[in-house]
Structure formats: C-alpha cells, structure tokens
Amino acid sequence: MGIRRVKTIVALCAVALLVALVAYRVAKRPARSEVEYWDWLSMGTLAELQTRDHSIAKAEAQIMKDAFTEVEDALSVFRDGSDLSRLVADGTIRVSSTSHLARVLGFALKVADESGGAFDPTVAPLMKAWGFRGGTISAPPSATTISNILANSVGWQRVEVAYGGDGRTVFASGGTRLDLGGIAKGYAIDLAYERLKDFGGENFLINLGGNIRVSGTNGRGSGGWTVAIRDPFGVTGNWQHLPRQLRSGEAVATSGSYERFIEIGGKRYSHIIDPRTGMPVDNELASVTVIAPTAMESDAYSTTLFVLGEEDGRRFIDGKDGCEAVFVGKNPLGTDALRRVEALCALGPRNAMTPGAKTAAKWIADELAAMGLEPEIDDFDEPATDGSARIFRNVLATIKGTGSGRVLLLSHYDTKSGISDDFVGANDGGSSTGLLLALAKHLVASPVSPSVTFAFLDGEECVRSYGEHDGLHGSRHLARKLRDEGVALDAVILLDMVGDRDLTLTLPRNGDARLKGLFLLAAADVGRRQSVRLLPYEMTDDHQPFIDAGYKAIDIIDFEYGSLPELNDYWHTPSDTPDKLSAESLQAVGDIVLKMIDGR
Ligand code: FAD
Ligand code: MG
C-alpha cells in the first residue's frame, strides 16, 4: 500500500475499519470536496475510487469492484478454484488467449525473461519457505532448503506455453507453483480502468493497495492528478509528492519492504524475494516507485526494480517507453551527509588559521549557496597573547521556519593541528559538518516551524590547552555576538563526532535538562535510546560559551570512537577517516535532531 492521497489517509483508515465491519460491502463516504471517495477491501488490501464523475460515481464503484472480483477469482493463490490454483494443482490448463490468466502470466513470463529472473512468477515455493503463505516459521530456511528449492522448483523457463488452437493457450506449470502477487493487482487496475472508460468515466483515480491509475484531472488547476508516495523513514512527514503529476492514462506503483514483511528472531524480512538467490531482498533501497503507461507495467516493474537495486534497475527501466522510476534509499539523509563528509575530507586538513580552513569555509558556503541559501562567512580576528592577528571564519546560514521561534545548530569544521599531515577529522569536525549540510538541504525542502540557523564554527580545537585564548574561538565569538545583539534562541544544539558506525551518544553533564529530556524522547522514537549514555562529567565543547551567555544548549557527542566498544582510540589520530562512519548513524542523529526541533 505505497501510494495514497495525503489528505485522505486518516479518513481512509477509518473507512477501512468500517468497511471491514460491514463485510466488505461497498460503502460510500459523503463527498467532502469536488472529488468523491469510495473504498472497500479487495485482494487483501484497500481498494479506492476517487471520482469527479458525480452522476455515475456509484456505477463506477460497482464496475470497479466487479472487475477486481473477477481478477481475484481467476488469479488468486488464496482461492482453490482460481485458474491459477487449478494450473498448479493439475499441472496444466487450457484457457482463452484473452483470459485474465493468459494475459497476466504471459506478461509475467516476458518480464521474467527481460529481467534475467529478478522478477519471476515461480517465486511461490520461496514465498512459502519464508513463511509468507500461512503457518509460522521460527527460523529462516536453511541454505540447503533454499538451494533445493532453487534447483527443483524455481525458474520461469519451467513454465511451458503452447498455442492450443481455437484462440486458446495451454500452460504447463513444469512442476512449480506460481504467484502473481507482484503483477495481478496492476492488471486488475487496468481492467477496471478500461471498463470505466468504456462506461463514460472521465475524471477518476483508481487505487488498489498503492497501484494507481488516473484518468482526466483532479480539477485543481494544472491538469492531471497529484499523487503522494510514502516516505518510509521520513520523520517530518510520512508522505512525499511524486516529482510530477500523473497525466491522464498513466499508472504508478510502489514496491518496498516497509509495509509487508515477516519478523523471524527479531529481524525483518521483505516479502519480495530475489529468485536468483532465494533470499528476501535486503539492498540499499527502501522503496521503488514506477510511473508507466499501464498499471500492469508499473506493478511488475516496481517489484523488478526493487529486486535489481538502483544501478541495474535504472538500466532496465531506461529501455521502457513511457516509464520513469523513483528510487528511495534506506537512509537518504545519512547517505547525503556521508557523501558530504567524504567531499570535505577530500579537501585535506582544515587546521584553524591555515589556508586549509579558509578553503573549507568557502566550500561550506558554496554548498549552502547551491541549496539556494544566502550563507555569510563571518571573519573575525582574535589577537594572540603576543599581539599577532589570528583570523577565524564562521559560516552561517538561516532557513526561515513556517511558524515562530529559532533554533541554532552548531558544528565545528576545523581539524586538530599537530596530529599528522593527512589528519582529516572525518568524525571529529567532518561528521557534524556533513550532517548539518544534509539537514540544511532537507529543511530547505521541508521547513519546520522554527527558523533554523546553521553555524559552522572555526577554531574549536585548541593548539595547546583549552583556555580563554586557545580553542572554542568560533563558538565564543558567535555566542557573544548573539547575546550582544539580543537574539532569542529556543535551543542551541551542538553536534560533534556523530558518524561512528558503532554509535553511542554520550551527553555531557553540562547541558540544558529540558533539551536532554527532548533528546531522550527523540532517541527513543527512532529506536536509539539504548545507545545513549548520560555522562557524569562536563565536557569543554562549543556549547559551553552559549550556556555561559545564558542560552539553553546541549552537546550531542559520541565520545566512544574506537576499535572496541568504550574505547576512544580513533579520536585525534590518523585513524579518524570516513570509512569509520556510516550512513545509518548519521541518519539516526539527523532524525533525532529533526524530532527535537519539531518538539522543542
Ligand atoms: P509488489 O511489489 O507488487 O509484489 C510483491 C509480491 O509479489 C509478493 O508479495 C509476492 O506475492 C510476489 N513476489 C515476491 N517476490 C517476487 C519476485 N521476485 N518476482 C515476482 N513476484 C514476486 N493478500 C492477503 O493477505 N489476502 C488475500 O486474500 C489476498 N488475495 C490476493 C489476490 C490477488 C489476485 C492478488 C494479486 C493479491 C492478493 N493478496 C492477498 C496480496 C498478495 O499476497 C501480496 O501481498 C500482494 O500482491 C503484494 O503486493 P504489493 O503491491 O505489496 O507488492
Ligand atoms: Mg508489483
């Protein structure tokens, strides 16, 4: 059930419940707008009609319902008498070449062939072995079980197709079982679509568990229909609009692992299985959405691309007329952050008061400008004890909120001097800078209520030992400046060392109690509460000057960055390189920060 209109989600869920209570009978909800909504249960999921053809709406819903029932009767593996079940039981079946089975199985075999078996309707024995067809399993099937199934029962080439004369097709199952769950809903949508068009339907959207096809327009100006897809791991909203409206006649479908899955021993397994390996798909993708000229194509291709992964998937879909794909990765924010950390580290060391720091400041400002922001590089000079001038640069940018209030997010970007010529501080200075940039990019697209100011601070690292003239230069300068200007801030959130693959979030004692509470709630929300430790001691870090200036501040830091849990032996060593970081960790901290900002 990947795709539905944002506005109707709550109402749809309520109606789904109601409909279940009245034994799946077609139910009508009063029209709230120009678009009329009808929904009911079909094929184990929610069927929905949105229509602007008011005079024939009821008839349209009935036509659609009948088409779905017809397809279910022919193609359900859950029904003993269906053509598909008879083919499996008898090993062969003779049907009209225009029958539902001939059309869908014929196309399924074609896609199987084109995708090299990434899509394969003979996946059924694997579905069963992985516990997706009734019964419970307490452990994943053994490697031997899987290789036996692959050797003896899986492979679209086993299915024989012959022309039986008289416009009939003969299928022989080749001793395997078949499953059309990845394609038949799309076909049912196309059947309903054609019948509605024949009946005189003009402006409607039909949806079966996220397989959607539209006709005409939704009447909101620009033509076509606006459709939102689920953002599986988003925290600021569960829906994302498709990059463009659907044009009349087009279809869309989403395949993903986040709604249908099985849990065995605490681990989730996707209901989409790679027939080439026998394993549930576990790649870099959270979901794939495909726009296509028909719903059977979008349904089959979204499943195919989810198996193929983004790289092979793009190659596959590029050859298909009228088709477009949207790939959503598992950790979009974290992946973006990691890419930026790598780019920053590639610039070389960024020790304060060196040309490296100046290059880094300009790079950060360029990245912010590329997002459409107006960054400011605040150069300031702090005389050394011998009176010589020392130039530091803070980089600042603000994203205006949709409501009131203001939050300040901090990271230092300088590296510690005196470690080695190639010390790049991937976690220390790099991770928080990459994540803040990724958060800026995210908030430009989806702003939250408060305005958010990003400050990339210079001169955090001390040269000898922390003191009034050594270390925390950027934060002392900014805190003083904001206080002197009387700028009000709801919260100051410092990120430091937040990308370690083995993420432990240690909160130093010096920090605002309410922000710590918000942090703990947010960490629990994203499933990371277990990796948080409240430290019994204070830490000298960039949040302290803000506390001293009277602001509410918190330091989110992973001060266990090492080769073993609880060790910190990568910190301030040449081992602090990007390979020690992960997109998952950066995503988790990013999600926590977004939740904190929302609930401040
Ligand atoms: P998609 O990505 O479109 O398809 C995933 C599905 O395709 C899997 O669930 C599996 O069925 C199949 N599949 C998995 N891997 C592959 C692969 N590599 N190649 C090809 N296919 C693959 N569900 C119920 O709970 N109760 C019912 O009574 C019921 N009846 C149904 C009747 C029909 C005619 C159909 C088409 C589906 C029915 N379903 C029912 C739902 C079905 O079991 C699947 O869960 C559903 O089709 C998955 O669709 P999707 O859009 O979520 O995912
Ligand atoms: Mg599909």
pLDDT tens-digit series, residues 483-497: 999 999 999 999 999
In the three-class reduction of DSSP (H, G, I as helix; E, B as strand; rest coil), residue 595 is classed as helix
User: Is 179 touching ligand 1 by the criterion CB < 6 Å?
Assistant: yes
Is residue 461 pLDDT above 60, yes or no?
yes
User: Is 270 touching ligand 1 by the criterion CB < 6 Å?
Assistant: no
Q: What is the pTM of this model?
A: 0.73
Domain ranges in the chain with CATH number 3.10.520.10: 4-69+189-265+278-311
Domain ranges in the chain with CATH number 3.40.630.10: 333-598
3-state helix, strand, coil in the chain (%, to 5): 40, 20, 40
Q: Dihedral through CA 263, CA 265, CA 269, CA 271, nearest 10? A: -50
**Centre of ligand 1 from the C-alpha of residue 181, in Å:** 3
Is residue 137 pLDDT above 90, yes or no?
no
Residue located nearest, by CA, to atom 10 of ligand 1: 181
**Centre of ligand 1 from the C-alpha of residue 220, in Å:** 33
Give 515's DSSP letter: H
Residue located nearest, by CA, to atom 28 of ligand 1: 44
**Centre of ligand 1 from the C-alpha of residue 13, in Å:** 20
Is residue 349 pLDDT above 90, yes or no?
yes
- CATH number (3.40.630.10, 3.40.50.300, 3.90.1150.10, 3.30.530.80) of 333-598 reads 3.40.630.10
**Centre of ligand 1 from the C-alpha of residue 76, in Å:** 9
Residue 240 confidence (pLDDT): 66
User: Taking Cα atoms as reference points, which of 219, 223, 221, 226 lies closest to residue 245?
Assistant: 226
**Centre of ligand 2 from the C-alpha of residue 149, in Å:** 23
Q: Which residues are bridge partners to 500 per DSSP? A: 581
Residue 231 confidence (pLDDT): 55
**How far apart are alpha carbons 454 and 377 in whole angstroms?**
12
User: Is 299 touching ligand 1 by the criterion CB < 6 Å?
Assistant: yes
Ligand closest to 275 (CA) is 1
Cβ-contact 415, 350 below 8 angstroms: yes
User: Is 186 touching ligand 1 by the criterion CB < 6 Å?
Assistant: no
Residue located nearest, by CA, to atom 48 of ligand 1: 181
Residue 16 confidence (pLDDT): 39
- What is the distance, to the nearest Å, from the Cα of residue 239 to the centroid of all Cα atoms in its chain? 10
**How far apart are alpha carbons 109 and 480 in whole angstroms?**
69
User: Is 75 touching ligand 1 by the criterion CB < 6 Å?
Assistant: yes
The DSSP result for 12-66, as a single string, is HHHHHHHHHHTTT--EEPPP-SSSEEEEEEETTEEEEEEES-GGGHHHHHHHHHH
User: Is 128 touching ligand 1 by the criterion CB < 6 Å?
Assistant: no
User: Is 182 touching ligand 1 by the criterion CB < 6 Å?
Assistant: yes
The class of domain 4-69+189-265+278-311 in CATH terms is alpha beta
User: Taking Cα atoms as reference points, which of 413, 424, 349 lies closest to residue 574?
Assistant: 424
pLDDT tens-digit series, residues 249-294: 999 999 987 667 788 877 888 999 999 999 999 988 888 999 999 9
pLDDT tens-digit series, residues 400-432: 999 999 999 999 999 999 999 999 999 999 999
The DSSP result for 146-211, as a single string, is HHHHHHHT--GGGSEEEEEETTEEEEE-TT-----TTTHHHHHHHHHHHHHHHHT--SEEEEETTE
Ligand 1 atom nearest residue 255's Cα:
2
State both tokens at 381.
């000079």
Is residue 13 pLDDT above 80, yes or no?
no
Is residue 122 pLDDT above 90, yes or no?
yes
